[in-house]
Amino acid sequence: MRVSALSATVVLVAAALAAGAAPAVADTPAGPVLSVPLEAGSGLHHNTGTVIYERVDGEVNSVRIISVSITSGERDCAWVSWNDPHDPNGWSNLTSEPSCNGTGLGESPDRIIKAPAGHPLKVRLTATHPGSDLVHKDVEKL
């Protein structure tokens, strides 16, 4: 009788442990959170950006954009965009507006971007000097 009582206790403890571990597994993200730094220009035209993202579990060529930050050069306006195969221009902005004249901009779009298999996903920091043809770019693969 003692053996069966001990077995029943072990089964109950194991079930309680398993039930307690289940939510932790469900909260685990699809993949590691990754960061892509972007930098273009120099001096008064030095622009920087960062894209924080993670791969979408089970999806081919899909990432979730968690946040985008930009700091423009003192004489530039800067955008961060991605190489959208569905956009007629080939690039779609990841932020709602540019960062201009040395200001910073940070947004958390929590947006999934997708491309067909074989289309490498990329992000681009583009900075322009208003009234001039001066353009600075940095393109990085996700």
Tens-place pLDDT, residues 124-138? 999 998 888 878 999
What span, in angstroms and rounded, lies between the C-alpha atoms of 40 and 70? 11
Domain 34-141 has CATH 2.70.98: no
Domain ranges, ordered by start, for the chain: 34-141
Cβ contacts of residue 125 below 8 Å, gap of 6+? 38, 39, 40, 47, 48, 49, 70, 78, 79, 80, 136, 137, 138
Q: Which of 1-5, 23-27, 122-126 has the highest mean pLDDT?
A: 122-126
pTM of the full predicted structure? 0.76
Tokens coding 70 = 């930009």
Q: For the chain, what percent of residues have pLDDT higher than 70?
A: 79
